Structure 1
Amino acid sequence: MIHAVLLDYDGTLHDTDTAMKRSLDGILGLDGEELYRIYLYDVHRSLIHTKHLDRHDDIMFHCQLLFQVLNKPYDPKIAELICRKLEQAGRDFSNMKFFEDAAPALKMMKEKGIEIYLSTGKYAEEKAKTFEKYAMETFFRGVFSESKNGFLKTEVRYYVESLKTIGRKPEEVASIGDTILSDIKPAKQAGIKTIWVNRRGEPIPQEPDSMPDNIASNLMEATNIIFKV
């Protein structure tokens, strides 16, 4: 039975993709949606996740690879502009563009007595406050971030530290998020139940260590899965 959840923010609660796309519009002669798609899938997922995992949080390195993928000469000023736009969009806590099912799903978890912890890479406190301000309700028992835990969210040790703080057995906790590399794979290695919120309709990973225990198309569906596990 699940008693606590580690809940991702970007792409799970918050529609961060839309903010990122808007911030990149017109750069390098591309519309924001196309440029962000290339950045996310052709650079971040295809190259960083497979060949440069140690540079996962290095945005400038991402931008350098972006020019290579686009087969364009590297322009440091434009690269700096892209990095700045992405960083600003990622920490714009006035942007309350949350998914419609976010608040109702958390209310359902709370009513059922599920302990909810925000689990994210950066700005955990700010993100928690932003969501609770939007929902006009307190949800989070606590927050976890890479700086607080001392490890990247892609590392199993991040989840081991989270378990120590929560004080629950791994099988009593579920990690819910939209990213296999940081929300599913390391959590599964720590013995935590995993629910992949696949809002984008991405292909299901075939590697056993990356295969989520459960898959949901949205957060409300993920919430209903919690009560059945």
Structure 2
Amino acid sequence: MIKVLVVDDQILVRAGLVALLRAAPDLDVVGEAATGEEAIEQAAATRPDVILMDIRMPGMNGVTATERILAMNHDPRPRVLILTTFDVDKYVYNALRVGASGFLLKDTPPERLIAAILTVSSGDMLFAPTVTRRLIEAYTSQAGPSAAPPSPALDLLTAREVEVLKLVGRALSNAEIATRLCVSEATVKTHLNRAMTKLNLTSRAQAVALAYESGLITPGRETTSRL
């Protein structure tokens, strides 16, 4: 059973999510919270596998709560799936930077929400369809055309590791990257893991953010989304 913690400050939304998930096979709602502070307490007490995290809440928002929960050093760490009303939201981007596993819009159909929980619980990253490019490019474009130059940290990577990181930044899966580079998925995973270790990254989502921030990907280039 996948243990799920539901965090949302709106009681009707939270109750609806809890009812939906409790009716789904293989999912066990182990707690619910209405604030970021409660989310941290519940995460420590229930040790969920996946946290559905509302991003906009009074007091501590979902980004800060996510960062503090993922800093607890629990093993394994929970996967945080951000829920938002807005498809372009700087808070969502910041949540990816601190290690969230992906995000969905609150109007996502129930079957897709359940599929998303299964996806992130298995270790994959997930973005809502059609949103990835608009989200990241809208945020990074605020810096203008003379955004930060490529990070010196990239000098630590091999040419193939840079290539894999760039494709991860475009939200391609390991299977899609393997097909693009004509290598095995295991090889892709090895290159990505080595790159993330060298760059001190703890999640695939952080790798996506770094690919944009470092200049590996230029806003306006084509990207793809999972699901």
Q: Normalized against structure 1, the TM-score is what? A: 0.36
Where relative contact order (Cα < 8 A, 6+ residues apart) is larger, the structure is 1
- Larger helix fraction of residues: 1
